[in-house]
Structure 1
């Protein structure tokens, strides 16, 4: 793949569901996930998502599944949703073969722009498994702050994976957007 070609962003449609599921699974689980640094394989087994869940995200009001493509190939995706005054950022996946070159940073910046401009959100909120210290540090370098707010991991709901340890929980991270000039 030509990594010097420009990145094109667009909103997902139903026809994209199988490719999105494959990308998310490759980034988070199994052998392909081990090629990148964002894998959760040491914490979770099972699936990360499925066609039904991705389809529901695409159809949900005030929700966008943002796709990044290069030369027509899906290379990254994320879910952005308006939740009150906040944008919510989740289901972030970058093709493991494309990680480490700034693509994730570009996708995150586009998601933040979308939340600010489309929904006039004042901040972006996300949850990250607290044991993912390297990933949390990556978000901190991009302006996200740890809030000391936690949400329980949904043990027993295999839509989120099958936990390999009993102490998982999500930490809430928030980035407040700079005020735009009037």
Structure 2
């Protein structure tokens, strides 16, 4: 790498890395209050936004991007949730209010090769909602299907034998009606 290339490369990479970490809520295990909060893990692969205290997708509610493919997703962000044996490699964990509806909005963008050409495919967005219970841990999984994508949730159950999961019901939702 020439000196000129390095002079251009370092600031660009630094900017990209700083942007990748900006805007993500910063939480630690010490911030968790199980009497009023729950924890949620989302796996890498889809663009996922969490909308808090609403049972539909609206820009009026507090919301944040929980996961998006990119450099920031290649390191786990954890708040101390137990990890089941079948966990995917990359994930982000968040502390959320319990007893309030939470909406998960997800969309998968992928690339497909058709006749030797690469095409970007953007799936239709999906949204589901649930009410996290205090002191409980949940995982959100987005399944890329040939048809519409699906959002699944499962609850983590810790025992002396380790951590297991059980399906947790979500209700399909959409944008809020004005």
TM-score, structure 1 length as denominator? 0.28
Higher normalized helix content (fraction of residues): 1
Whose radius of gyration is greater, 1 or 2?
Answer: 2
